[in-house]
Amino acid sequence: MAQEILFELKDVTYSYIDGGKKRVILSGLSYAFEKGKFYTILGPSGSGKSTLLALASALDKPESGTIEYEGKNIQKIGFTKYRRNCMAIIFQKYNLTDYLNGVENVESSFYITDKKAPPNKRDLSYKILSSVGIVQSKADRRVNKLSGGEQQRVAIARALAKDVSLVFGDEPTGALDTATSNEVIELFKRLSREYGKTIILVTHSDEVAASSDIALRLHEGKLEEMKGNE
Ligand SMILES: Nc1ncnc2c1ncn2[C@@H]1O[C@H](COP(=O)(O)OP(=O)(O)OP(=O)(O)O)[C@@H](O)[C@H]1O
Ligand SMILES: [Mg+2]
């Protein structure tokens, strides 16, 4: 069966002017991400992983080259529309709304996208939270009263509520201990296996990379495959 491409970077270049000098971070980077697969991106600190995710999530524009979602240039889709309807991103520091409780954080996702919000938003939010291991008593607590692992689960539930097929993570397990990190990674795997989402996680952990379908390395401004498990 032919693999379906969901997201593609085509000849992407990006550089910074640093003290009057040009520093190339990404140079002619091309890579096609398939539907429903779990990818990790490794690379030393400063190699440009967060820069790459900033471009992939339309927070910044490449100097040259194009980024395509379902074969369409994301600039043509429109950055705001793309961010709202096509993708979700999860950070090391959760980025939840602190003064809301867990279920309100998840529910707020339904209002972000252009899709019509379902009528049973609150119930559905509890259901999604429970599917990532957050029971109702925890979901009703202000998120800054939850542990790091629990907050990251709420962040994942929020991304799930958005109902998009592309999920990015910038070191989403970076602040968690090994056991909690493993549980969170299991969740990401489930998102790709059971929900068919394409997951692209930046990580510093070889263990996390080893558990992904395809581990990539950002090296000299390009993405290289380290292994494929097929
Ligand atoms: N706004 C900016 N202006 C100038 N240089 C920047 C800017 N943002 C990042 N850089 C530089 O670009 C390089 C790549 O940064 P980036 O944050 O993408 O690295 P990273 O691979 O995510 O690193 P880490 O693993 O530490 O998070 C770094 O040398 C960084 O200092
Ligand atoms: Mg980074």
pTM of the model: 0.91
- Where do the H-state alpha helices sit in 162-205? 178-195
Q: Contacts from 42-49 at CB under 8 Å and sequence distance 24+?
A: 42/203, 42/204, 42/206, 42/209, 42/215, 42/216, 42/217, 42/218, 42/226, 43/217, 43/218, 43/219, 45/204, 47/218, 47/219, 48/14, 48/218, 48/221, 49/170, 49/202, 49/218
Per the CB < 8 A criterion, the answer to whether 198 and 3 are in contact is no
Question: What is the structure's pLDDT at 2?
Answer: 67
Ligand 2 centroid to residue 129 C-alpha, Å: 27
159: part of which helix (H) or strand (E)?
A: helix 148-161
Closest CA to ligand 1's atom 13: 46
Best of 42, 51, 57 for a ligand 1 pocket test (most atoms within 8 Å of beta carbon): 51
Rounded to whole angstroms, how far apart are CA atoms 101 and 106?
Answer: 9
Determine the distance separating the centroid of ligand 1 and the alpha carbon of 220, expressed in angstroms: 14
In this structure, what token pair is assigned to residue 48?
């440009």
How high is the pLDDT of residue 112?
Answer: 81
Q: For residue 203, how far is its CA from the centre of ligand 1 (angstroms)?
A: 15
Instruction: Give the pLDDT score at 66.
Output: 98
49: Cβ below 6 Å to ligand 1? yes
Q: What is the pLDDT along the chain (230 residues), one digit of tens a residue?
A: 568 999 999 999 999 988 899 999 999 999 999 999 999 999 999 999 999 999 999 999 999 999 999 999 999 999 999 999 999 999 988 889 999 999 999 999 888 877 888 889 999 999 999 988 999 999 999 999 999 999 999 999 998 888 899 999 999 988 888 888 898 899 899 989 998 999 999 999 999 999 999 999 999 999 999 965 44
The pLDDT, as a whole number, for residue 230 is 47
Q: Does the CB atom of residue 203 touch ligand 1 within 6 A?
A: no
